[in-house]
Amino acid sequence: MNIINVVSWFGLVVLSFYLIIVGKTLLIPLVIAIVIWYLINALTKTYRRFTLDNYAFGLTAAILTVVAVIWFVIDLTSANIAEVVAKAPKYQENLQQLITKALGFLNLKETPNLTHIISDINFSKIISHLVGGLSSIASNAGIILLYVVFLLIEQNTFSQKLSLVTGGAERINADIRTYIWIKTLVSLLTASVSLLIMKLVGVDFAEFWALVIFFLNYIPNIGSILGTLFPSLIALVQFDIYWFIVVAGSLTAAQFAIGNVLEPRLMGRSLNLSTLVIFFSLVFWGTVWGILGMILCVPIMVIVMIVLAHFPKSRPIAILLSGDGRVNCEL
């Protein structure tokens, strides 16, 4: 019987991986829709505190807020993509000039290999890949909207059915909602501080890079590095080495203060994922779903760990996924 169970679980895992790979076109919008759905519910609860617990008003205000934010993201992305790509050759030219100055300062002659490497750097292609993930979200806006609408319509009956099956649906929803809400607020704060820094310096497309930082902040460690690297490189090719150091140092300080001091205090043990699990998740989801997979991988794994921790039989798996064997979910 145990062998049958093992084979069944193995088959289920293989089937799940297969569906994740083959069905990514449908699953990515669904996962994004679920995140938006949780954000709407979190906003609804927040607005209800200021409206004498008026659910209809809170839900309407939450939906309008999310729609306005999504419209802003799509508008900002579409308005900046063409301009960023158009300026990429100028940035490449400035980079070549910086290399020439650096070689002259060091009293070195530029070698053919270095010239070849610099000339092969295609900034337009690099930036196009970076914004490709955001463009994918915009192109799938319609299907994501439909998913969100049906989730909102079905959420009451869905919670009832889940409660009958598990007996702890509200606790699971509350834990997931808390994680997504806090992570989004932290990402928003990080992006806002970064925007202020870039605006003060005068970095090109500061609003666009702040938006990129917001999404990259969902990727632990690597996201913070990339969120600092991209605007810093823009400052380098736009100005000079001095402003590169200023931007890089300021953004690093902001990322460290928010990510390593503030976020752990707000998040508590909600993000108690093993470093190995995070790294494997980044590699797996990044390989399967691209940059969107890297952005969504940690929210997905946290949600999985929260759900597993609420059931006695699956709690050991949640403990294995955790960083120190402790999960913040009572049975």
Q: Is residue 236 scored above 60 in pLDDT?
A: yes
Share of the chain above pLDDT 90, in %: 6
Contact 194, 212 (CB under 8 A): no
Q: What is the pLDDT of residue 270?
A: 55
Predicted pLDDT at 251 = 92
Q: Tens of pLDDT along 162-209?
A: 666 555 566 777 777 777 788 888 889 999 999 999 999 888 888 888
Model confidence over 262-301: pLDDT tens digits?
877 776 555 567 778 778 888 888 888 877 787 778 778 8
Query: What value does the mean pLDDT of the chain take?
Result: 76
Residue 19 falls in which region: left (phi positive, over 0), alpha (psi -120 to 50) or beta: alpha
pLDDT at 4 over 60: yes
Mean pLDDT of the region 143-157: 83
Q: Identify the pLDDT of residue 325.
A: 63
Among the residues of the chain, which ranges form H helices?
2-22, 24-48, 55-105, 112-120, 123-139, 141-166, 169-201, 206-216, 222-238, 241-256, 263-267, 275-309, 315-321
Task: Considering only residues 40 and 179, tell me which one the structure prediction assigns the higher pLDDT.
Answer: 40
Q: How many domains does the chain have?
A: 1
In a domain, 261, yes or no: no
Distances (CA, A) of 226 to 136, 143, 229: 19, 29, 5
> Does residue 113 sit within a domain?
yes
Q: What is the pTM of this model?
A: 0.71
Which is more confident, 82 or 64? 64
Q: Is the pLDDT of residue 83 over 70?
A: yes
Domain range spanning residue 151? 25-167
What's the token pair of residue 7? 């084979």
Residue indicated by tokens 């088959």: 11
- Domain presence at residue 209: no
- So what's the pLDDT on residue 114? 45
| Cβ neighbours, 10 Å, residue 201 | 17
- Over residues 299-325, mean pLDDT: 76
Is residue 104 included in any domain, yes or no? yes
Averaged pLDDT for residues 40-48: 84
Q: pLDDT for 58-68, tens place per residue?
A: 888 888 888 88
Structural domain contains residue 235 = no
In angstroms, the CA 302 to CA 282 distance is 13
233 falls within a domain: no
DSSP-derived secondary structure for 252-301: HHHHHIIIIIIHHHHHTTTT-B-HHHHHHHHHHHHHHHHHHHHHHHHHHH
**Is residue 183 one of the residues assigned to a domain?**
no
- Given pLDDT bands bounded at 50, 70 and 90, which one contains residue 1? very low
Tell me whether residue 29 is in a domain: yes
Which residues pair with residue 273 across a beta bridge?
A: 322
